[in-house]
């Protein structure tokens, strides 16, 4: 039988806010072109500057009248070279790095580097643009041989893929940013360079009960050794392919990406694919064919969200980058829907608690086998919306909440349309409100049927889906 196709883009688009778009008008335009989550990159700028950006972002969100999540991205511990004059370096040439900068010896911002690195280890500078091999180690210096030539520049990042570092995951700057995020009521915080599940646990302890969801950025090979535990401790996973591609064979990155998306889907946690997705659009008004294929393959793999960094923060065409990402997602989702309709649908195998499983299964079956225009869930804390997002239903899932923070956080969930509304206490009033909201938003037409799931008349007080599901036919209000 014919099933309702999803009229909205289910894959979420994350855009980094920067000088190219950090005005209320700029943010409103990004949202109009398809953004669901706005990212603040704490690696750049001051907290005072971010406060101004956030104020502009929230003004733009208010103008758009659509819930949008705010994601703060913590810097993490980044090893960098010290200050010196830019110099060329040739293959085979030696480079000396020490505890202190003296003469031809360069220093870094990480004193224990000399103790922890060993002869034979690789040392990569500027995202791997310059590669060195440690050939000699003394008490206070190491001698490195250059593998490839290039320009050696001050303050560039250093990666040590073979070295076990005692570097703390959370820096003093990160802790300051966490306090700022709590004060300014951000929806998500992303932790850089996660290596262990305990890193996420430590960050969560700093939140002091604040309802901020945590995103683990996977960019260190060490994280892959306990990835399931990291996924379990996190609220979402970001596959940060930049540093991951520096420290590992580039050919392994797409394999890791597919595996991480699969694990996240099985665990019911959102997966975000990030870094250089439409990099050429920093300057160009159109992407390369390879970039389009990259975004498309991430969506084919089942990612929940795709992220833009420099494309929107400092690029010449931020709106175009967002609309391009949104368009690619819409086309791939249409193909996935067509493929799903050509065969027997199978309910995704995801981790759903026993008390929720029966109702979730019923919702999935009705959404696939009945003429349903949308599924509506009442969700005070987001649990109902997360469960419906896991199921990858073929119709929009409209999540109604009276909590502003919850509405923003649900903007990250695949296939979820969060709406901030006043929820009446009486069942008849709730149904009437659902009817009117869907008509006003163009999410259903008169005569179409919708599923209503959740804590009918209870306001979603239970910590799981309550035993309530009904079919409602939209009527003229």
- The pLDDT score that the predictor gives to residue 460 is 43
- The pLDDT score that the predictor gives to residue 7 is 43
C-beta of residue 271 within 8 angstroms of C-beta of residue 264: yes
372 and 408 housed in the same domain: yes
- The pLDDT score that the predictor gives to residue 384 is 82
- The pLDDT score that the predictor gives to residue 5 is 34
C-beta of residue 472 within 8 angstroms of C-beta of residue 431: yes
C-beta of residue 158 within 8 angstroms of C-beta of residue 81: yes
141 and 173 housed in the same domain: no
C-beta of residue 46 within 8 angstroms of C-beta of residue 120: no
Which of 141, 159, 177 terminates a domain? The answer is 159
Q: What is the CATH number of the domain that holds 49?
A: 3.20.20.60
318 and 294 housed in the same domain: yes
Which of 285, 302, 337 terminates a domain? The answer is 337
128 and 86 housed in the same domain: yes
Q: What is the CATH number of the domain that holds 435?
A: 3.40.1380.20
Number of domains in the chain: 3
In a domain, 390, yes or no: yes
In a domain, 107, yes or no: yes
- The pLDDT score that the predictor gives to residue 367 is 85
Q: Is 244 left (phi over 0), alpha (psi -120 to 50) or beta?
A: alpha
In a domain, 400, yes or no: yes
295 and 412 housed in the same domain: no
Domain that holds residue 467: 354-473
Which residue has 């733009």 as its token pair?
Answer: 60
199 and 56 housed in the same domain: yes
Q: What is the pLDDT along the chain (477 residues), one digit of tens a residue?
A: 333 333 489 999 999 999 999 999 999 999 999 999 999 999 989 999 999 999 999 999 999 889 999 999 999 998 999 999 999 999 999 999 999 999 999 999 999 999 999 999 999 999 889 999 999 999 999 999 999 999 999 989 999 999 989 988 899 999 999 999 999 999 999 999 999 999 999 999 999 999 999 999 999 989 999 999 999 999 999 999 988 999 889 999 999 999 999 999 999 899 999 999 999 999 999 999 999 999 999 999 999 999 999 999 999 999 999 999 999 999 999 999 877 666 667 777 666 666 666 777 788 888 888 889 999 998 877 888 888 898 898 889 999 999 999 999 999 999 999 999 998 888 888 899 999 999 998 899 999 999 998 755 544 444 444 557 889 999 987
Which residues, in sequence order, are CB contacts of 61 under 8 Å at separation 6+?
27, 31, 38, 67, 68
In a domain, 4, yes or no: no
177 and 237 housed in the same domain: yes
331 and 251 housed in the same domain: yes
- The pLDDT score that the predictor gives to residue 4 is 35
70: how many CB neighbours lie within 10 A of its CB? 25
In a domain, 344, yes or no: no
212 and 279 housed in the same domain: yes
264 and 178 housed in the same domain: yes
In a domain, 376, yes or no: yes
408 and 321 housed in the same domain: no
What's the rounded Cα separation, in Å, for the pair 11 and 476?
A: 31
Q: What is the CATH number of the domain that holds 132?
A: 2.40.33.10
């Amino acid at each position: 039988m014919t099933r309702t196709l999803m009229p909205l883009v289910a894959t979420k688009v994350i855009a980094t806010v920067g000088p190219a778009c950090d005005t209320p008008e700029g943010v409103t335009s990004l949202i109009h072109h398809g953004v669901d989550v706005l990212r603040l990159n704490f690696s750049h700028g001051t907290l005072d500057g971010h406060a101004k950006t956030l104020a502009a972002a929230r003004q733009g969100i208010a103008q758009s009248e659509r819930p949008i999540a705010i994601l703060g991205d913590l810097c993490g511990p980044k090893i960098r070279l010290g200050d010196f004059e830019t110099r060329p370096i040739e293959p085979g040439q030696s480079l000396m790095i020490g505890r202190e900068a003296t003469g031809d010896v360069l220093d870094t911002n990480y004193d224990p580097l000399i103790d922890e690195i060993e002869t034979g280890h690789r040392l990569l500078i500027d995202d791997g643009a310059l590669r060195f091999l440690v050939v000699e180690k003394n008490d206070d210096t190491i001698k490195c041989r250059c593998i490839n030539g290039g320009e050696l520049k001050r303050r560039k990042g250093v990666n040590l893929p073979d070295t076990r570092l005692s570097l703390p995951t959370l820096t003093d700057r990160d802790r300051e940013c966490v306090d700022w995020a709590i004060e300014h009521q951000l929806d998500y915080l992303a932790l850089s360079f996660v290596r262990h599940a305990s890193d996420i646990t430590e960050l969560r302890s700093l939140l002091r009960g604040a309802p901020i969801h945590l995103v683990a950025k996977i960019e260190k090979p060490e994280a892959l050794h306990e990835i399931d535990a990291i996924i379990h401790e996190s609220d979402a996973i970001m596959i940060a392919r930049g540093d991951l591609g520096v420290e590992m064979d580039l050919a392994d990155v797409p394999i890791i990406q597919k595996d991480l998306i699969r694990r996240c889907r099985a665990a019911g946690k959102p997966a975000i694919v990030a870094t250089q997705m439409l990099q050429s659009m920093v300057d160009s008004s159109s992407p390369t064919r390879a970039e389009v294929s990259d975004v498309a393959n991430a969506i084919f793999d089942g990612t929940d969200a795709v992220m833009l960094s420099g494309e929107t923060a400092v690029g010449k065409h931020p709106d175009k980058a967002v609309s391009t990402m949104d368009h690619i997602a819409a086309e791939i989702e249409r193909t996935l829907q067509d493929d799903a309709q050509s065969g027997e649908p199978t309910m995704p195998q995801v981790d759903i608690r026993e008390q929720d499983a029966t109702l979730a299964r019923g919702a999935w079956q009705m959404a696939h086998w009945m003429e349903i225009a949308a599924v509506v869930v009442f969700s005070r804390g987001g649990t109902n919306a997360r469960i419906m997002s896991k199921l990858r239903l073929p119709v929009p899932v409209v999540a109604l909440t009276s909590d502003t923070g919850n509405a923003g956080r649900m903007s990250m969930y695949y296939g979820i349309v969060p709406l901030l509304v006043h929820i009446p206490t009486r069942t008849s009033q709730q149904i009437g409100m659902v009817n009117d909201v869907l008509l006003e938003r163009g999410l259903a037409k008169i005569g179409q049927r919708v599923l209503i799931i959740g804590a009918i008349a209870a306001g979603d007080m239970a910590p799981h889906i309550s035993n309530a599901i009904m079919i409602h036919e939209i009527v003229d209000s």
